[in-house]
Amino acid sequence: MPSKRSSTASLWGAVAAAAAVAGCAAVRDARMAQDAARPAGEGGAASARKVALAGEPLESLVAYAISNRPSMVSARLAVDDARLALREISSDAPIVSSTPWNAVDARASLAYSEASRRAQFSDAKWKTRRGDPSATLSLDLLVWDFGRNSARAHAQCESVIAAERALDKEGLAVFDEVAAAHFALLQNEALAEVAATNVMMCAEHLKQEEDRFELGETRNLDVLRARLDLARANETAVSASNDVATAGANLMAALGIDATAGGFREVLGPGGESIDAVTRVFKATTTTAAEAFMFARTNSPAVAVARAKVRAASAQVDYAIADLAPSLSASASLNWTDPLWYWQWGLDAVQSLFTGWKKTTAVERAKVALESAASSLESEEQQLSRSIELAVAERDSAAEALATAAESVRQARENLETVASQHDVGDATRIDYADAVSAYVEALGSRVKAFYRGQIAEAKIIGLTGREPEFADERITGGDIK
């Protein structure tokens, strides 16, 4: 027959083992997180990574950025933290709640002590008599807290919603940034092609002037001016090439890709834009600013975050008021001191009589916080309205500019063809030809800029209103660019 002491030790050992098993998963995950974060904390060199996004459409680029941008990771972790905080609050719930099993707070303790016999200090000896082990199992039960826990839980639920909508807000911000950088790269690639075309045309014109000078049909001054036009065209082409490199670097940053992956051409592949073709990703819309704003007031993540904060602040007012009330709790304990057992129980009702007006001041502060949250919501809506009006105006302006530029390209092309044929027979001067070339190249550039201005504005409107993006990736050429 096992002794009472060994049986009790086995009981408390089982309790301790169960507690250890319950916490081992959380400890393991925490240790793994420490190991993963250690290189960053110690400043270790980043390992090179290869990313292959050549030929990928904008939709794939956005998906990659949303999966890899550090800001998105931080926003996801903020959601996890808000949910864990809600779990902490629910662990303090009273028995009169939706989670009564969390109202119990159980503790276990083991003790062992020995003491020497009583004597004067001069006669004290270090020898002790045999001591007795003791153990205690105590239970504390929160019966009713007059709404404190439910108010805290309500406020934290709204904080969880705010964190989730903040994640949506960050996702749309990443979408907008990637889209703008993507269209900027396409635009600058097309402008670089326009600049290269200008160089080619100026080079052909210089060759014509040199041939005519050898035949005595033109002056040396015309040759020199043609060389100057070519030099300026080359200068513009170099600047356009630098703009492409800058746009590529901006797109890499928007995607969350660092320099260890290589240059933007290694990651994104060679450019494919031409002077007579563009890529339409978003269809043109005609929504007015008022219509877009009314949609955004109920769908924009930024406004949704502000509204959730208002509701959370209102719940905090409920908590501050509930904290003025008393709290009711019960307790029970089972004690063992070898070989004796005894138990006890009790009820507690606690009411604060005077705390230096701290609790009433908390109510007043909660009211101020609620009013501040409501004011922030109004400010957020006003800022949203202004941003939408600017984006819609930019979209409409870009559409008008594109229609004008498309007509300018048509007329400039006809003018260049006419001047070129007249210049071949001597009916047009070198200046006429140079002006015609310059007008045609300028019209091409204006058409490209206007088109991608419109695409960037459409992406901005999508991000502001919270509308789900619809990607098309339609290739448009020639006279259809309008």
- Residue 124: inside a domain: no
- Please report the pLDDT score of residue 83 as a whole number: 94
The region, left, alpha or beta by phi > 0 then psi within -120 to 50, assigned to residue 19 is alpha
List, in sequence order, every residue forming a beta bridge with 332; answer none if it has no partner.
139, 345
Q: With cut-offs at 50, 70 and 90, classify the pLDDT of residue 1.
A: very low
Residue 311 has pLDDT above 60, yes or no: yes
Q: How many angstroms separate the CA atoms of 206 and 213, rounded?
A: 10
Residue 350 has pLDDT above 80, yes or no: no
Domain count, the chain: 1
Whether 481 contacts 273, CB under 8 Å = no
Structure tokens at 408: 């300018």
**Average confidence score pLDDT of the chain:** 84
In sign, the C-alpha dihedral spanning 125, 127, 128, 130 is negative
- Residue 254: inside a domain: yes
pLDDT, average across residues 132-161: 84
pLDDT, average across residues 29-55: 74
Q: Domain with 171 in it: what CATH number?
A: 1.20.1600.10
- Each as own residue / partner, the long-range contacts of residues 58-62 (CB below 8 Å, 24 or more positions apart, any chain) are 58/178, 58/179, 58/182, 58/281, 58/471, 58/473, 59/469, 59/471, 59/473, 61/178, 61/182, 61/251, 61/255, 62/174, 62/175, 62/178, 62/179, 62/469
- Please report the pLDDT score of residue 119 as a whole number: 56
Whether 452 contacts 253, CB under 8 Å = no
**What is the DSSP track for 172-194?**
HHHHHHHHHHHHHHHHHHHHHHH
Q: With cut-offs at 50, 70 and 90, classify the pLDDT of residue 63.
A: very high
Q: How many angstroms separate the CA atoms of 90 and 71, rounded?
A: 29
List, in order, residues 6 or more apart from 124 with CB less than 8 Å away.
Answer: 116
Residue 281 has pLDDT above 70, yes or no: yes
- Please report the pLDDT score of residue 220 as a whole number: 82
Per-residue pLDDT of 428-452, as tens digits, reads: 776 777 788 888 888 888 999 999 9
Whether 349 contacts 409, CB under 8 Å = no
- Residue 300: inside a domain: no
* Neighbouring C-beta atoms of residue 51, cutoff 10 Å: 18
Residue 5 has pLDDT above 50, yes or no: no
Coil, strand or helix at 336: strand
- pTM given for the model: 0.80
Residue 405 has pLDDT above 70, yes or no: yes
- Please report the pLDDT score of residue 12 as a whole number: 45
Residue 355 has pLDDT above 70, yes or no: no
Per-residue pLDDT of 187-236, as tens digits, reads: 999 889 888 888 888 888 788 888 878 877 778 888 888 889 899 989 99
- Please report the pLDDT score of residue 382 as a whole number: 96
pLDDT, average across residues 92-109: 72
Residue 91 has pLDDT above 50, yes or no: yes
Q: With cut-offs at 50, 70 and 90, classify the pLDDT of residue 11.
A: very low
Structure tokens at 127: 């020898």
Structure tokens at 255: 């995607």
Residue 263's domain comprises: 52-102+147-287+384-480
pLDDT, average across residues 369-397: 96
Higher pLDDT, 6 or 345: 345
The region, left, alpha or beta by phi > 0 then psi within -120 to 50, assigned to residue 256 is left
Whether 464 contacts 296, CB under 8 Å = yes
- Residue 82: inside a domain: yes
Which range, 189-198, 387-396, 422-431, 469-478, is most confident?
A: 387-396
Q: With cut-offs at 50, 70 and 90, classify the pLDDT of residue 4.
A: very low
Q: With cut-offs at 50, 70 and 90, classify the pLDDT of residue 21.
A: low
- Please report the pLDDT score of residue 18 as a whole number: 52
Coil, strand or helix at 222: helix
Identify the CA nearest to 172 among candidates 470, 474, 460, 481.
460
Identify the CA nearest to 313 among candidates 167, 163, 151.
151
- Residue 116: inside a domain: no
Higher pLDDT, 373 or 129: 373
| Percent of all residues in the chain with a pLDDT value above 90, rounded to a whole number | 42
Higher pLDDT, 118 or 457: 457
pLDDT, average across residues 461-468: 94
- Residue 476: inside a domain: yes
List, in order, residues 6 or more apart from 149 with CB less than 8 Å away.
Answer: 89, 90, 92, 93, 94, 97
Residue 95 has pLDDT above 70, yes or no: yes
Q: With cut-offs at 50, 70 and 90, classify the pLDDT of residue 325.
A: confident
